[in-house]
């Protein structure tokens, strides 16, 4: 095991996969000589050359559309969208093309692409460098959506995504790049897309989270423990396909559910988890499935007090958890 | 794949650079003529199926046949890729898709190789013919063509990718993004714009401020060529140049082919509402079937006996294809959930 930052784990996953398989190419804005605006692809241009590490024009639909064509003709492209906030021009290519190619051709064509993109707030990114976008994409049949929390998961899930025969949207919380560290196995490994994981067992309340929110929830669990409340933390990890089994099993143990995400609350991903629990786990419940989410303003406002107001912290989770337990 | 090949396919024309600039042989002209006429006959049958209540919808390629046959004929049809659009009836036939497969998608049959009855008619595709599956949003496919050509370059396969679109699609951002990317990397793409003057009802004058799409090539530093789609041999000559340029690594070409739209946009459109009687009356003058027939007769290539032989063969092929498709079973709704994702046991 080696102690790695979140960012380094992703870098290593890319590097090792590209070294293993010459059909893997990386494309996006500034991914070449600069190594990406966050430094994720640092050194890959030097290691694998400009034909495989492609600085694209500033055009997101182009990045995804070209990646689709590459995948049809024998390459395994990993596309980087510089910020999730800028992925929307590629929505049509993702929704109408990548996610439908297999279904619409009845399995004649597949689309093995990975779209990596940094999302999330808490870094003074304001409206256009802080967004969470998962709800738009988790809605799409044919697409897989992955949001890792630990560095080991980031690497293992990324390798699994690269080897996956279907398109995968891989969301990296940008605040975690340099703030989250963890042990990463040194030998080759994958983490399967799909299964959620229980990060911390508990008997009083299940908290469902992903990405940075898992980190905040774990922080909250420590505080709550001092108050005698034992919280179970389920790191959902993969939003589509969703591991409803692990979610329901957790609720069966704790009888209470709090769903936490940074994205806006209304029609956010938490509604899917809450609805699943209500429909399939109603008999377990001692309290309504409850959501703690980003407020319903268009995006994270810039100034520090605004950002603090928007972002979900361990402290906010503690308050919400107490209320669910006291119900 | 259940559609049987109903006719003997002429061998694919390899792009032989030593022949560049030479005229096609009389046999090659007749082969092109065969496909122009076959596409028209298939298209007319599609309308007949719709008018008789057997098909729900038609999107037609009538008027586009010369543009599509002339360009696709310049490809190495075994090796190269076609990324079509929804009017590509003649192009997919020329690329190797038999008429039966067109009727199978037209009728939404289970054995439709393009989509297994999942897509509307006109959305052709089949890996066996190296024809990429088609969607309905316009111009998205141009980026796929660029990606296919980029992969060909990295893998050193020598494949060329020809993609087709209408002039309305040139207003989309993906048109610019694809030409830009393909030009930067000198990719082996031939962009064929079939300019029929209308995007459903909107005339070209409201689509762009320049008279010709090909003028836009200057913005990408690539050749832009405009040819008359009823002059099939001229289309072919221009396409051969574009394909040779692509194959040799010099980069893409924007090839605009002026074609008449001989039918309404689709079976759900009434074009009399926005096209004058006079305009419609003049359309046959630009009909590629009519013009190409006259040209080949004049050259002495198309004799009355040959013409009769071709027409009889086409009639047979269209009838057999229709019969096969009509007899083919409809899909079972229980299979509708298949292939949203890869299924390990299903193969690829």
Averaged pLDDT, A80-101: 98
- Cα-based distances in Å from B92 to A237, B49, B229: 43, 20, 17
Which residues of chain B neighbour A110 with C-beta distances below 8 Å? 342, 348
Cα Rg for chain B, rounded, in angstroms? 19
Segment A118-173, tens digit of pLDDT: 999 999 999 999 999 999 999 999 999 999 999 999 999 999 999 999 999 999 99
Give bridge partners of residue A172 from the DSSP assignment.
A118
Segment A176-234, tens digit of pLDDT: 999 999 999 999 999 999 999 999 999 999 999 999 999 999 999 999 999 999 999 99
Q: What is the DSSP letter of B273?
A: G
Q: Do A62 and B151 touch (CB under 8 A)?
A: no
Taking Cα atoms as reference points, which of A200, A205, A143, A142 lies closest to residue A170? A143
Question: What number of C-beta contacts closer than 8 Å exist between A and B?
Answer: 145
A4: three-class secondary structure by DSSP: strand
Cα Rg for chain A, rounded, in angstroms? 19
Q: Are strands A144-146 and A114-119 parallel, antiparallel or unpaired?
A: unpaired
Per-residue pLDDT for A100 more than 90? yes
The answer to whether B328 contacts chain A (CB < 8 Å) is: no
Q: Are strands B198-199 and B189-195 parallel, antiparallel or unpaired?
A: unpaired
Domains present along chain A, CATH in parentheses: 2-184 (3.40.50.970), 197-326 (3.40.50.920)
The answer to whether B249 contacts chain A (CB < 8 Å) is: no
B162: three-class secondary structure by DSSP: strand
Which residues of chain B neighbour A109 with C-beta distances below 8 Å? 125, 127, 132-133
Residues 71-90 of chain B whose Cβ lies under 8 A from any Cβ of chain A: 81, 83
pLDDT along chain B (348 residues), means of 10: 40 46 90 98 98 96 98 98 98 98 98 97 97 98 98 98 98 98 98 97 96 97 98 98 98 98 96 96 97 98 97 98 98 97 80
Helix axes B65-72, B232-247, angle to 10 degrees: 40
- Per-residue pLDDT, B321: 98
ipTM of the shown complex: 0.97
Per-residue pLDDT for A108 more than 70? yes
Please report which helix (H) or strand (E) contains residue A105, including its range. Answer: none
Least CB-CB distance to B118: which of A65, A92, A104?
A: A104
pTM for this predicted structure? 0.96
Q: Is the dihedral of CA B253, A93, B149, B165 positive or negative?
A: negative
pLDDT band at residue A295, thresholds of 50, 70 and 90?
A: very high
Averaged pLDDT, A280-309: 97
Closest-CA distance of chain B to residue A266, Å: 27
Rounded CA gap, B82 and A73, in Å?
12
Q: Do A108 and B113 touch (CB under 8 A)?
A: yes
Which residues of chain A neighbour B169 with C-beta distances below 8 Å? none
Q: Does the bond joining B151 to the residue before it have cis omega, within 30 degrees of 0?
A: no
Q: Do B174 and A110 touch (CB under 8 A)?
A: no
- Per-residue pLDDT, B20: 54
Q: Do B140 and A101 touch (CB under 8 A)?
A: no
Q: Do B144 and A144 touch (CB under 8 A)?
A: no
Name the H helices within chain A. 6-20, 44-48, 60-72, 91-92, 101-104, 134-138, 151-163, 176-179, 212-226, 244-254, 269-280, 304-310, 314-326
- Per-residue pLDDT, B346: 75
A129 is catalytic: yes
Edge-to-edge strand ranges of the sheet holding A197-200 = A197-200, A231-235, A205-209, A257-264, A290-294
Pick the CATH number of B24-325 from 3.40.50.970, 3.10.20.600, 3.40.50.150, 3.30.1490.20: 3.40.50.970
| Domain range list for chain B | 24-325
User: What is the per-residue DSSP string for B68-136?
Assistant: HHHHHTTS-TTTSEEE--TT-HHHHHHHT--HHHHHHHHTT-TT-TTTTT-S-TT---BGGGTBPPP-S
Which residues of chain B neighbour A108 with C-beta distances below 8 Å? 113, 125-127, 133
Mutate to test the interface with A, among B147, B149, B346 (most CBs of A within 10 A): B147
Rounded CA gap, A267 and A133, in Å?
12
Contact B71, B290 (CB under 8 A): no
Q: Do A66 and B146 touch (CB under 8 A)?
A: yes
Which residues of chain A neighbour B143 with C-beta distances below 8 Å? 61-62, 64-66, 68-69, 93
Least CB-CB distance to B147: which of A69, A96, A144?
A: A69
Taking Cα atoms as reference points, which of A31, A267, A261, A36 lies closest to residue A131? A261
Tell me which chain B residue has its CA closest to the CA of residue A60. Answer: B177
Taking Cα atoms as reference points, which of A223, A234, A95 lies closest to residue A169? A95
The answer to whether B253 contacts chain A (CB < 8 Å) is: no
Averaged pLDDT, A229-256: 98
* Residue A35 structure tokens: 């190594």
């Amino acid at each position: 095991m080696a102690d790695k930052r979140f960012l380094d784990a992703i870098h290593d996953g890319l590097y090792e996969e590209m070294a293993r398989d010459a059909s893997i190419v990386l494309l996006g804005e500034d991914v070449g000589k600069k190594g990406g605006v966050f430094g994720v692809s640092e050194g890959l241009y030097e290691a694998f050359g400009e034909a495989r590490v492609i600085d694209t024009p500033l055009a997101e639909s182009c990045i995804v559309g070209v990646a689709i064509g590459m995948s049809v003709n024998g390459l395994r492209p990993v596309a980087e969208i510089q910020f999730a906030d800028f992925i929307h021009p590629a929505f049509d290519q993702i929704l109408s093309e990548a996610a439908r190619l297999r279904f619409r051709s009845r399995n004649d064509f597949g689309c093995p692409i990975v779209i990596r993109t940094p999302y999330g707030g808490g870094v003074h990114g304001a409206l256009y460098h802080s967004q969470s976008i998962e709800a738009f994409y988790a809605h799409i049949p044919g697409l897989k959506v992955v949001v890792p929390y630990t560095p080991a998961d980031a690497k293992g899930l990324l390798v699994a995504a690269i080897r996956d025969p279907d398109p995968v949207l891989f969301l990296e919380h940008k605040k975690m790049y340099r703030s989250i560290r963890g042990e990463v196995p040194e030998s080759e490994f994958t983490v399967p897309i799909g299964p959620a994981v229980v990060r911390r067992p508990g008997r009083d309340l299940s908290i469902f989270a992903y990405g940075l929110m898992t980190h905040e929830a774990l922080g909250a669990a420590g505080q709550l423990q001092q108050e005698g409340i034992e919280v179970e933390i389920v790191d959902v990890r993969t939003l589509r396909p969703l591991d409803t089994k692990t979610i329901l099993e957790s609720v069966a143990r704790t009888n209470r559910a709090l769903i936490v995400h940074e994205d806006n609350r209304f029609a956010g991903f938490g509604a899917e988890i809450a609805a699943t629990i209500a429909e399939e786990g109603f008999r377990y419940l001692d309290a309504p499935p409850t959501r703690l989410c980003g407020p319903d303003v268009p995006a994270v406002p810039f100034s520090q007090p605004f950002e603090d107001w928007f972002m979900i912290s361990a402290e906010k989770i503690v308050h919400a958890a107490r209320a669910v337990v006291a119900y | 794949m259940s559609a049987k090949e109903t006719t003997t396919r002429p061998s694919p024309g390899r792009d032989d650079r030593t022949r560049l600039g030479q005229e096609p042989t009389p046999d090659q002209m007749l082969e092109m003529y065969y496909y122009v006429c076959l596409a028209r006959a298939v298209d007319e049958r599609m309308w007949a199926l719709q008018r008789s209540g057997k098909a729900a919808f038609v999107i037609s390629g009538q008027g586009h046949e010369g543009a599509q046959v002339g360009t696709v004929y310049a490809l190495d049809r075994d090796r190269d890729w076609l990324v079509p659009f929804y009017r590509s009836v003649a192009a997919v036939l020329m690329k190797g898709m038999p008429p039966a497969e067109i009727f199978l998608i037209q009728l939404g049959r289970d054995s439709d190789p393009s989509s297994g009855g999942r897509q509307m008619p006109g959305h052709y595709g089949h890996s066996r013919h190296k024809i990429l599956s088609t969607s309905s949003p316009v111009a998205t496919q141009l980026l796929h063509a660029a990606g296919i050509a980029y992969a060909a370059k990295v893998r050193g396969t020598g494949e060329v990718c020809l993609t087709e679109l209408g002039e309305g699609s040139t207003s989309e951002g993906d048109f610019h993004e694809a030409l830009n990317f393909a030009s930067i990397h000198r990719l082996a793409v031939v962009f064929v714009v079939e300019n029929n003057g209308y995007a459903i009802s909107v005339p070209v004058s409201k689509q762009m401020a320049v008279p010709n799409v090909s003028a836009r090539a200057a913005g990408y530093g690539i050749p832009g060529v405009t040819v008359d789609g009823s002059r099939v041999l001229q289309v072919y000559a221009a396409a051969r140049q574009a394909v040779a340029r692509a194959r040799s690594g010099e980069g893409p070409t924007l090839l605009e082919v002026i074609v008449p739209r001989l039918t309404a946009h689709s079976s759900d459109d009434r074009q009399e509402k926005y096209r004058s009687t006079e305009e419609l009356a003049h359309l046959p003058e630009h009909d590629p079937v009519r013009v190409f027939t006259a040209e080949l007769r004049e050259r002495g290539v198309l004799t009355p006996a040959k013409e009769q032989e071709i027409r009889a063969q086409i009639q047979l092929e269209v009838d057999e294809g229709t019969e096969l498709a009509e007899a083919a079973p409809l899909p079972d709704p229980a299979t509708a959930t298949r292939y949203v994702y890869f299924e390990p046991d299903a193969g690829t």
